[in-house]
Amino acid sequence: MRCSSAAAAGRPTYALERAPSFGTPLEERKPSATVQVGYFHLRPGTEARFRRALEAAHAALARLPGAPAHTWYRLVAGGDQPQYLLMVARADWASYDRFDRDVPALLAGDADALAAFAAAVAAVETESWRYRADLSNLP
Protein backbone atom coordinates (compact mmCIF):
# COMPACT_ATOMS: atom_id res chain seq x y z
CA MET A 1 0.00 0.00 0.00
CA ARG A 2 1.36 3.36 -0.96
CA CYS A 3 0.36 6.43 1.02
CA SER A 4 1.24 9.90 0.07
CA SER A 5 -0.13 13.27 0.81
CA ALA A 6 0.40 16.62 -0.71
CA ALA A 7 -0.53 20.07 0.35
CA ALA A 8 -1.20 22.74 -2.20
CA ALA A 9 1.25 25.60 -1.94
CA GLY A 10 -0.60 28.76 -2.77
CA ARG A 11 1.12 31.99 -3.56
CA PRO A 12 -0.88 35.19 -3.31
CA THR A 13 -0.79 37.33 -6.44
CA TYR A 14 -1.31 41.07 -6.22
CA ALA A 15 -1.81 43.68 -8.96
CA LEU A 16 -0.47 47.21 -8.59
CA GLU A 17 -3.14 49.88 -8.09
CA ARG A 18 -1.46 53.01 -9.50
CA ALA A 19 -4.28 55.53 -8.95
CA PRO A 20 -4.39 55.40 -5.13
CA SER A 21 -0.65 54.80 -4.76
CA PHE A 22 1.71 57.55 -3.68
CA GLY A 23 4.99 56.31 -5.13
CA THR A 24 6.05 52.92 -6.52
CA PRO A 25 9.59 52.13 -5.30
CA LEU A 26 9.54 48.44 -6.24
CA GLU A 27 8.28 49.11 -9.74
CA GLU A 28 11.00 51.75 -10.12
CA ARG A 29 13.54 49.16 -8.89
CA LYS A 30 14.43 51.32 -5.87
CA PRO A 31 13.27 49.32 -2.84
CA SER A 32 13.50 50.88 0.59
CA ALA A 33 15.57 49.28 3.35
CA THR A 34 12.43 48.36 5.28
CA VAL A 35 8.79 48.13 4.26
CA GLN A 36 5.77 48.42 6.51
CA VAL A 37 3.15 46.05 5.07
CA GLY A 38 -0.56 46.02 5.76
CA TYR A 39 -3.11 43.46 4.58
CA PHE A 40 -6.60 44.99 4.40
CA HIS A 41 -9.38 42.40 4.42
CA LEU A 42 -12.61 43.93 3.15
CA ARG A 43 -16.20 43.06 3.77
CA PRO A 44 -17.91 41.67 0.64
CA GLY A 45 -19.58 44.36 -1.44
CA THR A 46 -17.62 47.27 0.03
CA GLU A 47 -14.76 47.57 -2.44
CA ALA A 48 -16.10 50.74 -4.12
CA ARG A 49 -16.35 52.49 -0.74
CA PHE A 50 -12.83 51.37 0.15
CA ARG A 51 -11.45 52.72 -3.13
CA ARG A 52 -13.09 56.11 -2.48
CA ALA A 53 -11.32 56.18 0.89
CA LEU A 54 -8.01 55.35 -0.83
CA GLU A 55 -8.46 58.34 -3.15
CA ALA A 56 -8.89 60.58 -0.11
CA ALA A 57 -5.80 59.05 1.55
CA HIS A 58 -3.81 59.69 -1.63
CA ALA A 59 -4.88 63.35 -1.59
CA ALA A 60 -3.93 63.65 2.09
CA LEU A 61 -0.47 62.20 1.42
CA ALA A 62 0.08 64.70 -1.40
CA ARG A 63 -0.39 67.51 1.14
CA LEU A 64 2.22 66.11 3.55
CA PRO A 65 5.81 67.04 2.70
CA GLY A 66 8.21 64.17 3.22
CA ALA A 67 5.54 61.47 3.32
CA PRO A 68 7.00 58.07 2.41
CA ALA A 69 5.81 56.14 -0.62
CA HIS A 70 2.52 54.33 -0.05
CA THR A 71 1.94 51.66 -2.70
CA TRP A 72 -1.37 49.82 -2.98
CA TYR A 73 -1.92 46.37 -4.48
CA ARG A 74 -5.15 44.40 -4.99
CA LEU A 75 -5.24 40.65 -4.42
CA VAL A 76 -6.16 38.89 -7.66
CA ALA A 77 -5.50 35.24 -6.69
CA GLY A 78 -4.38 33.13 -3.75
CA GLY A 79 -6.36 34.29 -0.75
CA ASP A 80 -9.59 35.64 0.69
CA GLN A 81 -11.08 38.41 -1.42
CA PRO A 82 -11.57 41.28 -1.51
CA GLN A 83 -8.16 42.13 -0.07
CA TYR A 84 -5.63 44.91 -0.55
CA LEU A 85 -1.99 45.18 0.44
CA LEU A 86 -0.29 48.46 1.36
CA MET A 87 3.49 48.84 1.30
CA VAL A 88 4.90 51.92 3.05
CA ALA A 89 8.57 52.59 2.27
CA ARG A 90 10.74 53.00 5.36
CA ALA A 91 14.39 54.10 5.30
CA ASP A 92 15.08 52.75 8.78
CA TRP A 93 13.32 51.93 12.05
CA ALA A 94 13.38 55.59 13.12
CA SER A 95 11.25 56.48 10.09
CA TYR A 96 8.28 54.87 11.86
CA ASP A 97 8.51 57.74 14.36
CA ARG A 98 9.06 60.43 11.73
CA PHE A 99 5.89 59.43 9.88
CA ASP A 100 3.45 57.53 12.07
CA ARG A 101 0.14 58.14 10.31
CA ASP A 102 -1.89 55.10 9.42
CA VAL A 103 -4.76 55.21 6.92
CA PRO A 104 -7.42 56.27 9.48
CA ALA A 105 -5.15 59.13 10.61
CA LEU A 106 -4.74 60.23 6.99
CA LEU A 107 -8.53 60.26 6.64
CA ALA A 108 -9.22 62.07 9.93
CA GLY A 109 -10.02 65.34 8.14
CA ASP A 110 -12.58 63.72 5.81
CA ALA A 111 -15.50 62.26 7.75
CA ASP A 112 -17.11 60.65 4.68
CA ALA A 113 -13.88 58.93 3.61
CA LEU A 114 -13.20 57.75 7.17
CA ALA A 115 -16.73 56.33 7.44
CA ALA A 116 -16.32 54.54 4.08
CA PHE A 117 -13.01 53.08 5.21
CA ALA A 118 -14.44 51.92 8.55
CA ALA A 119 -17.46 50.33 6.84
CA ALA A 120 -15.32 48.52 4.27
CA VAL A 121 -12.45 47.12 6.34
CA ALA A 122 -13.15 43.96 8.31
CA ALA A 123 -9.58 43.39 9.53
CA VAL A 124 -6.01 44.59 9.07
CA GLU A 125 -2.82 42.62 9.59
CA THR A 126 0.56 44.35 9.64
CA GLU A 127 4.19 43.33 9.49
CA SER A 128 7.59 44.73 8.54
CA TRP A 129 9.87 43.39 5.83
CA ARG A 130 13.56 44.06 5.50
CA TYR A 131 15.07 44.28 2.01
CA ARG A 132 17.94 41.86 1.33
CA ALA A 133 19.78 42.63 -1.90
CA ASP A 134 21.49 39.23 -1.75
CA LEU A 135 18.07 37.53 -1.96
CA SER A 136 16.59 39.85 -4.58
CA ASN A 137 16.00 39.52 -8.30
CA LEU A 138 16.37 43.26 -8.74
CA PRO A 139 19.51 44.25 -10.68
Report d(CA 21, CA 3) in Å as an integer.
49
Report d(CA 36, CA 38) in Å as an integer.
7
pLDDT (tens digit, 9 = 90+) per residue, 88-120? 999 998 999 999 999 999 999 999 999 999 999
* Cα-based angle 23, 110, 112 (whole degrees, multiple of 5): 110
Radius of gyration of the chain (CA): 17
pTM for this predicted structure: 0.88
Q: In sequence order, what are the residues at sequence separation of 6 or more whose Cβ sits closer than 8 angstroms to the Cβ of residue 95?
A: 34, 68
Give the chain's domains with CATH numbers.
Answer: 13-130 (3.30.70.100)
pLDDT (tens digit, 9 = 90+) per residue, 36-94? 999 999 999 999 999 999 999 999 999 999 999 999 999 999 888 899 999 999 999 89
